[in-house]
Amino acid sequence: MKRYQNPDIFEHLAMSYALGTLQGKARIRFEKLMRKHLYLRAVTNAYQQQFAPLANLIPSETPPARVWNAISKELQLGKAAAPRKSWFASVWSHVPVAAFAAVVASVGTVLLLNLNNQPDIYMANMKTPVQQDKMMVVMVYHETMEIAFDMPSGALPVKDDMMPTVWCIPKDSNKPPMRMGTLTAQGENRMPIDKATWKEMANVSQFAISLEPMDKPPSDTPQGKVIFSGELAAL
Amino acid sequence: MEPLNELLQRSGQGDAAAFRQLYNATSPRLFALCKRLLRDEALAEDVLQEGFVKVWHHAAQFSASKASAMTWMTTIIRNQALDKLRQAQSRPTVVDAVEYESLEFASLEPEPDALQQMGEDAERLLYCLDQLKPEQRECILQAFYHGQTHDELAQSLAKPLGTVKAWIRRGLEQLRGCLQ
């Protein structure tokens, strides 16, 4: 057993395990030892976490729908997990409304393989500017080429004379906001996007929603009150 | 809080819709990893399914202060894939058409934006990989992506087993020093 108490040996074994080169009987033996010895487990976990970002370097590939169907069936998730159904409604009462970090740790790595590659999904957590008491999630999907809004009921005010209007704020502050379209207070809110708009997401820093007066022609910049805003991050 | 961390934590509280969102956001990357490790589409689907079932059952144990959600899930699913690989009676052979094998990324200068968006740990790892000799780096990356044993690496690189073992050992030693 002393062999495994020598850091030079056990660290090398932990790294080999984390990398995957420790295989066969040696791997099983090491797993048994890990169950017994906390320090072995801790070191191995640390190396596994260090290697994990390598997964972001390979091009992603959407699995067939049957995989989710099988997961959902096995876990008996049922209707609660219907695609993109609002998940805020059920947990709204205990959501701590805190700002999401704008940067996702795993975002940029894939860019190293090919700097022109974009991620498959962008996400923004939007909240009300002052009270920050309401929030909604915006997902921009490459696969379906759409922007989907996920919000609790009542997040958008129902006003006959005002239209909730979606804007993308470019990272370059010299460029004007892009008007994306309008939302309705009820029902599912999705917006189809074209290739150029998807490409442009890489240059967007924030999503915002303003209330624009119905009786005026659409403007190139928000004229009304901004009711939601949030930073866009790549996933 | 990072969006994925939040989704994983909500999954741990039994929020099935958050789990679905988490699956939508992470499964393409994890599926790609499974496919590379197992080289078999059906096995990769099985592992992805088993992995996400495990993620659901263990999500309550996730602690955002220890790792990011993506890192945590990658570790679970990759281990699941390595177990499956170990159980497989005949191990699949690595096909030639794997374009990242002689990974040139490590010598690329990432754009400032990309650097800013990467986690510090990932940046450090790439920096340390860049410090390795090309053959050491290639062995380590192939082992990560393909789950290859020393023997298999020696075969696919057409090098003596002892040489490959030495490359990996020295590579890992150097990596360890650099990562610390």
| Contacts with B20 from chain A: Cβ below 8 Å | 68, 72, 77, 81-85, 87
Do the beta carbons of residue A194 and residue A227 sit within 8 Å?
no
* Residue A157: partners with Cβ closer than 8 Å, 6 or more residues away: A164, A185, A211, A227
Chain A residue at shortest CA distance from B70 = A106
Domain that holds residue B147: 93-180
| Contacts with B82 from chain A: Cβ below 8 Å | 20, 23, 27
Q: What is the DSSP string of A141-205?
A: ETTTTEEEEE--TTSS---TTEEEEEEEEESSTTSPPEEEEE--SSS-EEEE--HHHHHHGGGEE
Query: How far is the C-alpha of A225 from the C-alpha of B137, rounded, in Å?
Result: 54
Question: Mean pLDDT for each 10-residue chunk of chain A (235 residues)?
Answer: 66 88 83 83 85 82 94 82 39 31 26 48 80 75 85 76 90 89 78 90 92 81 86 81
Q: What is the pLDDT of residue A75?
A: 93
Q: What angle do CA B51, B57, B62 make, to 5 degrees?
A: 90
Is the pLDDT assigned to residue B69 strictly greater than 80? yes
Q: What is the pLDDT of residue A97?
A: 33
Whether A68 is in a domain gets the answer no
Is the pLDDT assigned to residue B110 strictly greater than 60? no
Domain that holds residue A20: 2-57
Mean pLDDT across chain B? 81
Which CATH number covers residue B160? 1.10.10.10
Do the beta carbons of residue A204 and residue A169 sit within 8 Å?
yes
A207 and A135 both lie in a single domain: yes
B101 and B176 both lie in a single domain: yes
A104 and A202 both lie in a single domain: yes
Whether A51 is in a domain gets the answer yes
* A226 DSSP assignment: E
Q: Which helix (H) or strand (E) holds A212?
A: strand A204-213
Q: What is the pLDDT of residue A131?
A: 66
B28 and B104 both lie in a single domain: no
Whether A65 is in a domain gets the answer no
B112 and B138 both lie in a single domain: yes
Q: Is pTM beyond 0.80 here?
A: no
* Residue B6: partners with Cβ closer than 8 Å, 6 or more residues away: A100, B18
Which of B46, B70, B151 is the best residue to mutate to test the A interface, defined by the most A CB atoms within 10 Å of its own CB?
Answer: B70
* Cβ within 8 Å of A, B 109-138: 110-111, 113-119, 121-122, 125-126
Q: What is the pLDDT of residue A107?
A: 27
Q: What is the pLDDT of residue A220?
A: 78
Percent of chain B with pLDDT over 90: 34
Q: What is the pLDDT of residue A90?
A: 34
Residue contacts between A and B (CB atoms, under 8 Å): 236
Q: What is the pLDDT of residue B46?
A: 95
| Residue among B49, B71, B143 minimizing CB distance to A19 | B143
Domain count across chain B:
2
User: Measured between alpha carbons, how far is residue A105 from residues A7, A156, A160, A223, A234 in Å?
Assistant: 30, 31, 42, 35, 10
Is the pLDDT assigned to residue B3 strictly greater than 70? yes
Q: What is the pLDDT of residue B99?
A: 42
Residue A152 or B37, more confident: B37
Find how far residue A52's CA is from the centre of its chain. 18
B6 close contact with A: CB closer than 8 A: yes
